[in-house]
Amino acid sequence: MSAAPIRAAFVQAFREAWAGGAGVLLPASFFAGAAMLVPFAVGSDSAQLAAIGGGVLWVALALASLVTMERLFQADLEDGALDLWVQADAPLSAIAAAKVAAHWLVSGLPLALLSPLLGLMLQMEPDRLPSAMLAYGIGGLAFFLWGAFGAALSATVRRGGLLIALIALPFYVPTAIFGAMSLQAEVPLPLIETLFLSAATLFSLAVAPFGIAAALRLAAD
Amino acid sequence: MAILSAFANPHRFMALSKALLPWLGVSAAVLIAYSIWQGLYVLPPETYQGDSARIMIVHVPAAWLSMSAYMGMALASLVWFVWRHEIADVAAKSIAAFGAGYTAICLATGAIWGKPTWGTWFQWDDARMVSVLVLFFVYVGYIALRAAMDTRQKAARAGAILAMVGAINVPIIKFSVDIWASLHQDASVIRLDGPAMSADYLVPLLLGALGHTLLFTALVLVAMRAEVRLRRADALLMRRMVGA
């Protein structure tokens, strides 16, 4: 076993994100745009926005994680990278985890870093923004892992975007629940809720890579 | 394993299911008819909820089947994934359709029951309702994934992976929904498990649950037999096209 294929998949995924030109900007813009639509839909009342702002960002994060998923493994399937991964001298689950981690660093983490600004615009309390940012970072990783599982399962399906959402959304429920709980906690820096959220993400980290690997073997056949 | 291999033989499955089906169908019809007759005409109105509680004769069996069907589907998927017994995949595919159907019945009867007792069609505070709703989407995702695959073998494999990963996840989802619902307990929800259910309902309810389980089994067997015939017909067509 060697670590080289894992590292290569990580670096390649990282480079590809920038090669297209858009990189971080596209998912971040989608995240901001989806959040911006909400005040138009529910009204400009500040108290109401303050009550739902954090939750709106969770929904926007979930949608943003899904929007970027369709091409995640399809490109690797088309250019033959997937066949090389399957034959590589490293566990496919580890390669898949590296690929998802790189994808999250480019398309998920920047959204969490952007969340304080959007939170302020949606009238969230300023002293909650740091812990909310942490929660969006941790929870976003779980979204990306399950989104990648859906993407791997539907890698051979043409226009599988909606299918990915349908498969992945039930798996988003625990993270959405614990994420929302951390926003509604009594204290601005909720320890217990953050631990629950982290537990859901760690669980995803333990299970999803093996599901992704099994699905990628199917796609490569 | 010997038992598994014995049932994996399609010929034996066809013979066995053919012999079982009439018995299953008749006993299911008798039990369901009995429970509905008891529920609608014989039993007194429930102490706290009046006539509306009669719907539990259908609702509770549907709730029980919505969950146990998923377990059956995941188990069949595991058997297919490990031993590649074709019948196990036929079972998983057939169970999914009727499992989704019973989940829909559970949600619909729950809403009809909830309106007069809780004053709302859907109660997000109730962990069971929300869990069943999520379960419904798990079924829909499974069926959609199978339908999107271009070959039967791929559909079987993708479906098995999703059903097994889903089975690992369902307890976590259930746990998180329970925690979430317990946060909003101040709403005036009439808990079903609060006042004890009157004992009159217990026997018809259990017999009804047994009847619906038998009906479910019979429906799944009919669907499985159709699927086995379909696959056999496809294999024969393929053989003719090859010219052998």
Tens of pLDDT, residues A207-217: 999 999 999 99
Question: Does A85 contact B at CB distance below 8 Å?
Answer: no
- How much is the pLDDT for B186? 44
CB atoms under 10 Å from CB of A134, counted, come to 17
Inter-chain touch B183–A160, beta carbons under 8 Å: no
Which tens digits make up the pLDDT trace of A12-24? 888 877 776 566 7
* A167, A177, A214: residue with CB nearest B145: A167
Inter-chain touch B180–A215, beta carbons under 8 Å: no
Question: Does B182 contact A at CB distance below 8 Å?
Answer: no
Extended strands (E) in B130-217: none
CB B202 within 8 A of CB B116: no
How many CA within 13 A on the CB side of residue B22? 3
Q: How far apart are CA B224 and CA B202, in angstroms?
A: 33
CA nearest to B154, candidates A218, A155, A164, A154: A218
Which tens digits make up the pLDDT trace of A68-111? 888 888 888 888 888 988 888 889 999 999 999 999 999 899 99
Query: Over pLDDT 70: what percentage of chain B?
Result: 89
DSSP A184: H
Q: How far apart are CA A80 and CA A77, in angstroms?
A: 5
Which tens digits make up the pLDDT trace of A22-65? 667 888 899 999 998 988 988 888 888 888 888 999 999 999 99
Inter-chain touch A166–B144, beta carbons under 8 Å: yes
CB atoms under 10 Å from CB of A130, counted, come to 12
Question: Does B158 contact A at CB distance below 8 Å?
Answer: yes
- List B106's β-bridge partners, or say none: none
H or E element in which residue A116 lies = helix A109-121
Percent composition of chain A: helix, strand, coil (DSSP 3-state, to 5) = 80, 0, 20
Closest residue in A to B130 (Cα) is A173
- How much is the pLDDT for B9? 81
Using DSSP's 3-state secondary structure scheme, residue B152 falls into: helix
Residues in chain A: 221
- Chain B residues near residue A215 by CB distance under 8 angstroms: 158, 161
Which tens digits make up the pLDDT trace of B182-236? 765 443 334 455 445 566 778 888 999 999 999 999 999 999 999 999 999 998 9
* B137, B148, B150: residue with CB nearest A170: B137
CB A155 within 8 A of CB A219: yes
Q: Does the model's pTM come out above 0.95?
A: no
* B157, B165, B172: residue with CB nearest A218: B157
Smallest CA–CA distance, residue B110 to chain A, in Å, is 21
Inter-chain touch B179–A177, beta carbons under 8 Å: yes
Q: How far apart are CA B100 and CA B172, in angstroms?
A: 20
Q: How far apart are CA B175 and CA B160, in angstroms?
A: 23
- List B50's β-bridge partners, or say none: B46
- Chain A residues near residue B140 by CB distance under 8 angstroms: 166
CB A183 within 8 A of CB A57: no
Contacts of B194 (CB under 8 A, 6+ apart): none
Inter-chain touch B148–A169, beta carbons under 8 Å: no
Question: Does B137 contact A at CB distance below 8 Å?
Answer: yes
CA nearest to A110, candidates A19, A24, A22, A29: A24
DSSP B41: I
